[in-house]
Amino acid sequence: MLDLIRPFSFLTIKHPSRLPLWVNWVLPVVLTALVMVGLWLLKTPVNIFGAQGLLERVLGFVQTLAGFYIAALAAVSSFNSPHLDREMPAPAPTMYIKYNGVMQNVTATRRRFLTSMFAYLTALSIVLSLVAIAVLVLAPAITVTWPDSAAKLHWAGLFGFLSALFQMTCVTFWGLFYLGERMLTPD
């Protein structure tokens, strides 16, 4: 059962430079905070959850990304290159994998790193799409049912959505850098 959440193990990758921490958590939260402050400072409210609002407009884009991530995952996992199967240069990132039913800490290869990344991005885009659809359907009922809590739920939901969206964006750009430049650079 826990195998269903294994794509999220990408978030457990460790590196001495702490780059995964910055790409996965710090930068997305900072970007989210900046956008939230900007929205809060605006004099007129921005349509977030309503018809033709931010959530609805971003949803179409996020839904299409899952297919691209699956294509990238298939390409990386099936590409025949011994270069992809060597350990990454020292200090290499480490990650937990399940091998013969036992969790083990291993040094990442380029293939393992990229497949883990694109599996995570695929899972995140699917979850983000499903959550966004649920929010769009339930937001009007929540506003009527809990009018006193609607504003707090609005800002908390927006923070969660933007954090996931910015995390997906940052990790995608990291993957594009890796596929476009770093993967082809000699060790």
pLDDT tens track for 11-30: 999 999 999 999 999 999 99
- What is the C-alpha separation between 181 and 59, in angstroms, rounded? 29
Taking the alpha carbons of 63, 66, 71, 72 in that order, is the dihedral positive or negative?
A: positive
Q: How far is CA 27 from CA 17, 136, 141, in A?
A: 15, 27, 33
pTM exceeds 0.75, yes or no: yes
Q: How far is CA 42 from CA 30, 121, 171, in A?
A: 19, 32, 29
- For residue 166, the model assigns a pLDDT of 98
- For residue 99, the model assigns a pLDDT of 86
What number of CA atoms fall less than 13 Å from residue 169's CA on the CB side? 14
